Structure 1
Amino acid sequence: MRGSGKRGAVRKQLLRGAAISAALLVGVLTPHLAHAQRAIPETTDDVRRLPIPPVDRSHEPVIILAGGTLLDGRGGAPIPNAVIVLQGDRILAAGPAGTSVPANAARTIDARGLWILPGLIDLHIHFTQQRGTDMGRYSDSPAAAAIRGTVLAEQMVTAGITAARDVGTMDDVALRIKEAVDRGMIRGPRVLWSGKLIASTGGHGDEVTSTATGREKPNLGGDPHGVDGPWEWRKAVREQVRRLSDWIKISAPAAREELAAAIDEAHSLGVPVAIDSYGKYTDWAIEAGVDTLEHPLLLSDQAVPLMKKHGTAFVPTIGAFDNLLEGGYPTAGIPGGGFYYTHSRRFVINQQDHLKRVNEAWRAGVPIGVGTDIPFENEWRYPDAYFRELDYLHQAGMTNADVLASATSTGARILRMGDKLGTIEPGKIADILVVGANPLDSLKNLRDVRYVVADGKVVVENGPR
């Protein structure tokens, strides 16, 4: 860069940095391109946005959805008798009848009487969760977790959930599920993964006893799992980015400078950060610029104003705590009523307070996303848990339209994929859900799945009824 002197050069550098930072906030550039002057034309369809060669989709088959009512996710009125044109993994056109369509369509889906909307998004899952009525009979392993995660991926996409963020996984299981979906080896949602949860020694994720049961975890070994001090937290972030993580997941308790160091390091590498937190640690993380707050646990009265001020998104996972209060997880030996035997959860949880905090955040204009966080018994709790989570958001005061936005367009923006997902418009990835009735009338209508298109492929066909 040329300048008229050292001060001028520094001033230009600062102005240029400020301009790029502003652009990042509105999604004009992807975070990892903060040093670049031009956006890269073609990137990977994940948060990392790695440059890839141009993709020629002109020879891919064309699919048309015609006659349904379109809720395109952009906030406008429903579009009756709509036409959506897909080619390969992208949307070519979307609009009312009369929208230009290619003459060489490989398939036309008759959507008359049906409702068409963007695929749903779950922002808080763990592919390595346990399942089964006799968990204690079998020891766990990455291979076992991968099998369970593959089953969960199938459950998700068949319910119309076409994108999911894994916020903490055993080994590289979530990455390999992401790879298997991308390569067409299994059916599942688009996966964004967070690698290993980063925790301080003895913090949430590094306790020797499991949450709620009080049983000592097996196979901890002699090596420390937690990290301590700002530079160890920075190194842990770098290790997760090196492992191809799309997001970083951190937890409390931790020192203020540790949280700030991890968030700063991740942002310097163009990777967003989620936190599982509570109390003062939440306030510290928000002030340090954390991107999403997971759970409404022990929020201070300052938390929501701080989220609004700093642009923090909120993923409440209300159902996860209602499950814990109302019966627990019997097959895992976890009794209902609250958190038990865990050092990092020494406080009472209250469902009405959680709903109140979500309402407070919604009224303040904090972006709210949908996340389930079901750690056990997914074979019968999922996908019902997702739709119950939508109901909880509605109970918290959100309108059906706002809840639907949280599950689609708002969720995509929180995911850092708003330019590729969350709405039905030309250029976006073809992730589409077709249901039998208007979800704006009742969120229960989202359960009536007729077709699911994921990455341009029709993966579910229930057809007319």
Structure 2
Amino acid sequence: MTGWISRLMLAAALIATPALAQDQGPEARPLHKRDKWLPPSVPTSDDVLRIPAPAGYNAPKGSFVLVGGRLFDGTGAAARPATIVVEGKTITAVLKPDDRNWPKDAIVYDVTGKTVMPGLIDLHSHLTFLNSEDGANIYSSANLSGVESVMRGVKRMAVYLESGVTSVRDVGSHGDAPFVLKRLQASGELPGPRIFAAGQLITMTGGHGGVHAFGPGYPELGNGNPNAMVRIASGPDEWREAVRIQFAKGADLIKLASEYSQAEISAAVDEAHSLGLPVTVDSETDYIDMAIKAGVDSIEHPLPRSDAAIALMAKKGIASVPTLVAYRVIMRGSGGYFGSTSRRFELNERTIENMAAKLRRAGVKMGIGLDVVALAGTGYLPGSYIDELETFNRIGFTKTEALVAATKTGAEIIHMGDRLGTIERGKLADIIVVDGNPDEDFNALRKVTTAFVNGRLMLQDGRIYRPAHEEVPLPTRK
């Protein structure tokens, strides 16, 4: 009862004094850099957690060279002829075309006539989401078994890789499934993009996405189903605990969704930041003011917010992942975003593109995220990614800038800019080879021929690559 009363009081306060919304409640601590005590000589895990690891951690054996291609390195520089040298999981050199200073035993790939570039990043995915193509209704996505969730994710990871996506930020999936998928991919057992997982989306009772927290015998609400993709929390203490649960599972970030009180979101962001985890939020209107006040790191979707909020996002370095293509699919499929208590405003193709253009003009950092997995699995790829790039181009990004948003900026938003997003010496070898010039025509991304993730060949001739089984000798008689 107390939770409902506090929310009614909050709603009344917002109606009475909407201009004060972003001034209510405490501000969370800044993001704590958990690896600041580690010198560069100490190896760590290749994720946001930066856990100390043995030397050579997770590095494949051997080396390879990509020769004869044009390099789009993701830094914003113009494409140029270059040779890329990879040893283990690391890019060790970017050479001029006539320089053959690479390991003698390196595998040489001739990519003449093709473009070599960093792998694409999708900042808004739900790898295990059930949708209409799976025969789902609005409740059933809460009732999957963990095994079924993982299998759905395996299928989608393959399509991502075939489309040139080598990293996904999963901002809400079922139970432990995203962490299982992340671990198997990182070890090389499962081909697909790197996964940066939020775990369960956190919202209040009745909040956006809350229907996906229904238990096995819906219509009862709650957190009784460990395989649900959403966790319900009420009050600041429960929001902190929900964050800690995702951290314990291995989360790389925390995903929150409106509605919430200022005290709730501030508590969640404070807890996440104290643990070294960035926070992204699905929110709109006054709830964006609260998210900015709390100090979130990024805001999803092209939903309404004031010009003052946009200016504060730019000032505070809060990134935007607009997911324009997802809303375009919704508008064209059903004519509008209907039946949601968290979408009570005008929403159409004009409003979403205008909002993205405002963010661009204000200097807000913007990355590419699709969110179409929740609508039609990965069926729209690679067209959905190309559509998002074309929209970025239309709102003021050059083609080069849009591809930088898809690579370098995406890595920065994930908090992996020191290891991913560009092809430079010392970066991890997440590399795709494209038959064409995507910096001139985005449609070239329909022809991704080769992909390496963490230095491992995972796509060859446009098909998923799996190394042949190596027989282990039986033990001999002693």
| Normalised-by-shorter TM-score class | 0.7 to 0.9
1:347 aligns with 2:316: no
Find 1:305's aligned residue among 292, 311, 322.
311
Say if 1:432 and 1:453, in contact at 8 Å, map to a contact too.
Answer: yes
Deviations 1:16-59 (A, max 9, x none): xxxxx99x8xxxxx82135x274562110001111112217999
Say if 2:59 and 2:454, in contact at 8 Å, map to a contact too.
Answer: no
Q: Give the whole-Å Cα distance in 2 for the aligned partners of 1:58 and 1:320.
A: 36
The structure-2 alpha-carbon separation of the partners of 1:208 and 1:53, relative to structure 1 and needing over 3 Å to count, comes to closer
**Hey, what does 1:368 align to over in structure 2?**
366
Find 2:183's aligned residue among 149, 164, 179.
179
The 5 Å alignment of 1:53-202 reads 53-55=54-56, 60-80=61-81, 82-99=82-99, 101-131=101-131, 133=133, 135-136=135-136, 140-202=144-206
> Which deviates more, 129-138 or 191-200?
129-138
1:367 Cα deviation from its structure 2 partner? 1.1
| TM-score normalised to structure 1 length | 0.85
Letter in 1 for 2:321: V
Letter in 2 for 1:260: S
> Which deviates more, 367-376 or 226-235?
226-235
Find 1:237's aligned residue among 225, 233, 243.
243
> Which deviates more, 87-96 or 189-198?
87-96
Deviations 1:407-457 (A, max 9, x none): 100111111000110011111110111112221211111222122111112
Say if 1:287 and 1:310, in contact at 8 Å, map to a contact too.
Answer: no
The alignment-based identity, stated in percent, is: 38
Say if 1:339 and 1:348, in contact at 8 Å, map to a contact too.
Answer: no
The structure-2 alpha-carbon separation of the partners of 1:133 and 1:350, relative to structure 1 and needing over 3 Å to count, comes to closer
Say if 1:200 and 1:227, in contact at 8 Å, map to a contact too.
Answer: yes
**Hey, what does 1:32 align to over in structure 2?**
34
The 5 Å alignment of 1:265-304 reads 265-304=271-310
Say if 1:157 and 1:188, in contact at 8 Å, map to a contact too.
Answer: yes
Q: Give the whole-Å Cα distance in 2 for the aligned partners of 1:196 and 1:456.
A: 30
- What secondary structure sits across from 1:376 in the alignment? helix
Q: Give the whole-Å Cα distance in 2 for the aligned partners of 1:208 and 1:97.
A: 53
**Hey, what does 1:261 align to over in structure 2?**
267
> Which deviates more, 164-173 or 393-402?
393-402
**Hey, what does 2:453 align to over in structure 1?**
454
1:174 Cα deviation from its structure 2 partner? 0.9
Q: Give the whole-Å Cα distance in 1 for the aligned partners of 2:332 and 2:443.
A: 22
**Hey, what does 1:443 align to over in structure 2?**
442
Q: Give the whole-Å Cα distance in 2 for the aligned partners of 1:47 and 1:220.
A: 37
Q: Give the whole-Å Cα distance in 2 for the aligned partners of 1:377 and 1:208.
A: 17
**Hey, what does 2:470 align to over in structure 1?**
none
Letter in 2 for 1:53: P
**Hey, what does 1:228 align to over in structure 2?**
234
Say if 2:299 and 2:320, in contact at 8 Å, map to a contact too.
Answer: yes
Q: Give the whole-Å Cα distance in 1 for the aligned partners of 2:213 and 2:266.
A: 27
The structure-2 alpha-carbon separation of the partners of 1:209 and 1:321, relative to structure 1 and needing over 3 Å to count, comes to farther
> Which deviates more, 196-205 or 358-367?
358-367
The structure-2 alpha-carbon separation of the partners of 1:39 and 1:356, relative to structure 1 and needing over 3 Å to count, comes to same
1:191 Cα deviation from its structure 2 partner? 0.4
Letter in 2 for 1:341: G
- What secondary structure sits across from 2:79 in the alignment? coil
Q: Which runs of 5+ in 1 are unaligned?
A: 1-20, 25-29, 211-215, 328-335
Say if 2:281 and 2:299, in contact at 8 Å, map to a contact too.
Answer: yes
Q: Give the whole-Å Cα distance in 1 for the aligned partners of 2:39 and 2:302.
A: 39
Deviations 1:365-394 (A, max 9, x none): 211111111113225223322222212222
Deviations 1:290-317 (A, max 9, x none): 1110001122222210110110010000
Q: Give the whole-Å Cα distance in 2 for the aligned partners of 1:209 and 1:49.
A: 30
Letter in 2 for 1:110: D
Deviations 1:193-215 (A, max 9, x none): 001111112111224899xxxxx
Q: Give the whole-Å Cα distance in 1 for the aligned partners of 2:379 and 2:35.
A: 42
Q: Give the whole-Å Cα distance in 2 for the aligned partners of 1:59 and 1:340.
A: 48
1:314 aligns with 2:312: no
The structure-2 alpha-carbon separation of the partners of 1:40 and 1:246, relative to structure 1 and needing over 3 Å to count, comes to farther
Q: Give the whole-Å Cα distance in 1 for the aligned partners of 2:203 and 2:379.
A: 30
The structure-2 alpha-carbon separation of the partners of 1:382 and 1:129, relative to structure 1 and needing over 3 Å to count, comes to farther
Letter in 2 for 1:458: L
> Which deviates more, 96-105 or 256-265?
96-105
1:357 Cα deviation from its structure 2 partner? 1.7
Deviations 1:132-186 (A, max 9, x none): 6460599733322211111000000111100010000111111111111112222
- Measured on the aligned residues, the alpha-carbon RMSD in Å equals 2.5
The structure-2 alpha-carbon separation of the partners of 1:286 and 1:95, relative to structure 1 and needing over 3 Å to count, comes to farther
1:96 Cα deviation from its structure 2 partner? 1.7
Q: Give the whole-Å Cα distance in 2 for the aligned partners of 1:174 and 1:180.
A: 10
**Hey, what does 2:394 align to over in structure 1?**
395
